[in-house]
Chains A and B, each alone.
Chain A
Amino acid sequence: MHDRHLITLTVNDEEHEVVVEARRTLLDVLRHDLRLTGAHAGCEHGVCGACTVLVDGAPARACLLFAVQAEGSALHTVESLAAPSGELSDLQQAFSRHHGLQCGFCTPGFLMLAEGWLAERAATGAGEPDREEVREVASANLCRCTGYQTIVDAIADTARTRLAAPGETA
């Protein structure tokens, strides 16, 4: 288990070289090697979704990927959502406005889940999602604090406002 691999990861549009064991998860590399600690380990078996990041634009469980598998992919973490000025994205603001978080541990995972889904919908030109559709998407991740309602509110609200003003979205 002590084979080492030098890999290059492109995270949030920056390249990083890391030396990893083959068994080292993408999540551990992001968090502990690259110090991008926004993605969290909630279960490490792919159910809770607290570790969700975007891999080539699609939401993925960073705990179920080995870092060596992610070489060559464009990775985005929650740290990429806010503008360089620090201004929060519309989705981040919507989570706060709707009280879509309490302890905040699951929040980065939900944000990346929603970000990936909203981008995918926008690319296909889909119209406004109904609430049940949003709920279905949100069911990919676990939250223990909110009862989900306000998370669904935040995602639905963002979907609506992005459709209304597509030019202003992140």
Chain B
Amino acid sequence: MPSPATGPRSHAGAARWVGVSVPRREDPRLVAGRGRFLDDIDPPGVLHAAFVRSTVAHGALTGIDLEPVRAVPGVVAAFDAADLDLADIVALLDRPPEEFVPTAMPVLARDRVRFVGEPVAVVVARDPYAAEDGVEAAVVRITAEEAVVSEETALAPGAPLVHADAAANTLVDVSMFATEGIDEVFADAACVVEVDTRTGRQNALPLETRGALASWDDRDDQLLLQTCTQIPHQVRTLAARCLRVDERTIRVTVPDMGGGFGQKCVVGREEIVVAAVARRLDRPVKWIEDRRESLTASFLAREQHYRTRAAFDADGTVLALDVDVVCDMGAYSCYPFTAGIEPLMASAEMPSVYRVPAYRVRARAITTNKAPTAPYRGVSRPQYVMAMERVMERAARELGMDPLDVRRRNLITDFPYTGVNDVTYDPGTYRESLDLAESTLREEGWFRFRDEAAAQGRAVGIGFCCFSERTGYGSDAFAKRRMTVVPGFDISEIRMDTSGSVVVTSGTLNHGQSHETTMAQIVADRLGIDIAQVKLRQGDTERISYGWGTFASRSITVGGSAVAAASTRLGVLLCRIAAHLMDVTEDDVELDGEGGVVLRTDPARRIPFTEIADVAYLRSNLLPKDVEPGLSATASFDAPGDGTFSNATHAVVVECHAGTGRVEILRYACVEDCGVVIHPQVVDGQCRGGIAQGIAGALFEEVTYDANGEPSAASFIDYKVPTATEIPDITVAHLETPCAFTENGAKGAGEGGTIGAPAAVLNAVNDALRHTGVELDATPVHPQTVVEALLRKEPACTTAT
């Protein structure tokens, strides 16, 4: 069990910082424009890289002529795959060939191109303008072949193959659960609903695009790779393998980062190229992705299709679930997660917050000639939650019941609960969050408002979404997926100096989540010091022994637990030295919560940390004989079993406008439970930011391609990112079910908003359109679809998409 450190009971265990919205320690530099983002760094002599990219979605690469590039003024060098000779990127699952087909992703395209935007060659020049001039001069010969751009064409018999080894363009095909007798359950059920849900391809869209800056350091005999990544250690591992060098010879650091949202939790080919080119030229080389590249060639997400059948009895109890999931992963598996991340997540967690007694699932990852995907905030959960929530709504409609009653009948209420999906859910507030969300809207009069609006001919609707999100993914949970690179644990080291300040490391990575503040709150409470005395170090493979970075809402649950455990261990050491100095036993002393150790029986006898640290470093002759000089402690943490689950209910009121098709959000209420809240303002911010991205997926954003695989949303003119006028004010109410096994009782709060919003909004739109008979099961909901629905004179019986 993950309790690596237990310390003496102490005043310092009391929460003085945790639970308080203290001012963010990140803010002073960021609001002053003194953040240090990647492109803010210009080392002397830096060269700038730009990529020659395929303009063809699918074809044979028959020749690259870079001589014209080299003649462009300012260009220093240009390389293609043959010039650099790097090992391919291959991400693996430990699954048999019928379940998983690995793809070799060359760092630069070699022999074939598989999507528009695939990097073919790199140009290095004295400034970014010259590098782009160079790119335009490249001559790339590609024999175009038919592109595979949709699920339908990818799976059609005789379809062209994106990868020769992947029959039927299928990279992953798993059938993890099939309850015996499930067909009989369907045959005997009072009600069977079928829902066909689709979600559009989306871009996680960090406002700071990707980028990398590499330079060789003779003194360290090491390449310094500064990069916008959520996973610095994994970048180092893969870069070393691709460059065929020892991992020690690469140091990866991460500056301030303008968001990631998952797009930066996989290793990018460009990061490897920049490292290789800097080594080759022995000059600093920087690449900053431009927005067009980001929209067309960075990792995308979300395009999934669920065909869900669910059996219910007459009172609305769900009896069985049978689902076929197809995830369009684009051209390659990402490293380290592979194309399995989405279908495996969907398979394991599809039943969501409901008691589903019988379950069958087939989930596939297919490959197409589109930019590859990465695990964007939420990872399949927005999709399977949408499928489940549409199922609940559909069943309610067919059974003539209130959709909230159907949910209540099926919500998990007894914890821990082990589902038919072999997942154990720890305690949460599934029922309570729904009750509070509903009563909030009811007391504010929204149900009445909706009905009165309908009487006036206005299309107002109310939608709900109930969901949980696994946040404490430990090694066990990831290992269940049979990944060969298994994330999960985190290690933290803490060191106190003679002034009583501490530096604490975490393998997680802050790119907007406020770790500098929240981790300091945890440490300060454990030791009983001021947060100003705590400095967090992240994002440096030389300073942090190993880490898994930040994704899957793991930072506070797993990383924060390691930080807490290391702090506790340091507290034990402080007490031990202090006891020796007082000539008492360790049981006689405790941390006093104010930066010192006191004698329990006589609080007047106290030794401040500064004095203990003085002994530990400057007068080590006074230390106990069995205590080594210095003041540091290390602890690791790994969430056990299936980890922990945050949960929430989202409730939203929309009005659909005839004529424009605009879906206006009138009210958005979120009731969430992420266990112990470390910093309320930060949690609210995570919820609201996530909800904004979820609304974006529900109503606005979609990466589209034409029939030839040409991306048709290559700028912010075409890719519709919601602004302040599209995102409403959002109330966030907190329930608090402390997690029993994280060190700090926290669960995680990073992804919930993104998970809940699409289904809640879609359900609200459908409620607003109920008088038309049209039901929408696809996102984004296009204004045209709304207009067409509202123009219907007679209610339709069929489902529109």
Contact = CB atoms under 8 A, between A and B. Distances in A.
Interface of A: 1-2, 21, 23-24, 28, 31-32, 35-45, 47-48, 50, 77-79, 81-82, 86, 88, 92-93, 95-97, 99, 101-108, 111, 135-136, 138-152
Size class of the contact patch on chain B: 35 or more
Interface string B242-272: 0000000000000011110100000000000
A77 B690 CA distance: 30
Contact of A147 (B36, B205, B259, B691): B691
A107 B715 CA distance: 21
A37 B40 contact: yes
A34 B700 CA distance: 38
Contacts of A150: 685, 688
Given A45-B291, A135-B725, A88 B31 contact: yes
15 contacts: A24-B129, A37-B37, A37-B39, A38-B32, A43-B715, A102-B685, A103-B208, A105-B207, A105-B208, A105-B256, A142-B721, A144-B689, A144-B721, A145-B259, A146-B689
B512 to A, nearest CB: 3
Given A88-B32, A145-B685, A147-B691, A104 B512 contact: yes
Contacts of A111: 31
B34 A38 contact: yes
Contacts, number: 182
A103 B26 CA distance: 9
Interface of B: 21, 23-24, 26-28, 30-37, 39-40, 42, 73, 128-129, 133, 205-209, 256-259, 261, 288, 290-291, 511-514, 681-682, 684-685, 688-693, 715-717, 721, 723-727, 729-730, 753
If over half of A's interface residues share one DSSP class (helix, strand or loop), that class is named, otherwise mixed; here it is loop
B207 A39 contact: no
Contacts of B511: 103
Nearest to B73: A2
Given A41-B288, A48-B207, A79 B32 contact: yes
A125 B258 CA distance: 36
B721 A101 contact: no
B689 A43 contact: no
Contacts of B209: 42
Contact of A99 (B24, B261, B716): B24
B155 to A, nearest CB: 33
A50 B27 contact: no
A148 B37 contact: no
B31 A95 contact: yes
Contact of B206 (A141, A144, A152): A144
B133 A147 contact: no
Contact of B33 (A44, A78, A97): A78
A149 B688 contact: yes
Contacts of A36: 33
Give the dominant DSSP class at B's interface. loop
A82 B32 contact: yes
Contacts of A1: 129, 133
A26 to B, nearest CB: 14
A116 B446 CA distance: 38
Contacts of A140: 723
B296 to A, nearest CB: 13
The residue in A36, A104, A147 that gathers the most chain B C-beta atoms within 10 A of its C-beta is A147
A149 B40 CA distance: 28
A82 B30 CA distance: 12
A95 B27 contact: yes
A89 to B, nearest CB: 9
Contacts of A108: 31, 33
Contacts of B36: 37
A96 B31 contact: yes
B31 A105 contact: no
Give 5 nearest A-B pairs by CB, closest first: A38-B33, A105-B258, A104-B30, A103-B512, A147-B688
Nearest to A140: B723
Nearest to A78: B33
Nearest to A150: B685
Given A92-B31, A102-B689, A105-B208, A48 B716 contact: yes
Contacts of B725: 135-136, 139
Contact of B727 (A21, A50, A82, A149): A149
A45 B258 contact: no
B724 A42 contact: no
Max chain B CB contacts within 10 Å: which of A79, A107, A138? A107
A2 B125 CA distance: 14
A47 B717 contact: yes
B205 A104 contact: no
A77 B32 CA distance: 10
A103 B259 contact: yes
A103 B206 CA distance: 9
Contacts of B729: 149, 152
A106 B688 CA distance: 16
Given A37-B36, A88-B32, A107-B30, 17 more contacts: A45-B715, A47-B715, A48-B716, A48-B721, A50-B207, A88-B31, A96-B28, A96-B31, A105-B258, A138-B723, A141-B723, A142-B207, A142-B716, A143-B724, A144-B207, A144-B259, A147-B685
Contact of B258 (A92, A104, A135): A104
A43 B716 contact: yes
B291 A104 contact: no
Nearest to B294: A43
A40 B31 contact: no
B724 A151 contact: yes
A139 B688 contact: no
A149 B681 CA distance: 12
A152 B256 CA distance: 24
A116 B252 CA distance: 39
Given A50-B207, A96-B23, A41 B33 contact: no
A64 B258 CA distance: 21
B697 to A, nearest CB: 13
A92 B33 CA distance: 10
A47 B719 CA distance: 11
Contact of B208 (A40, A45, A93): A40
B33 A103 contact: no
A44 B290 contact: yes
A22 B724 CA distance: 35
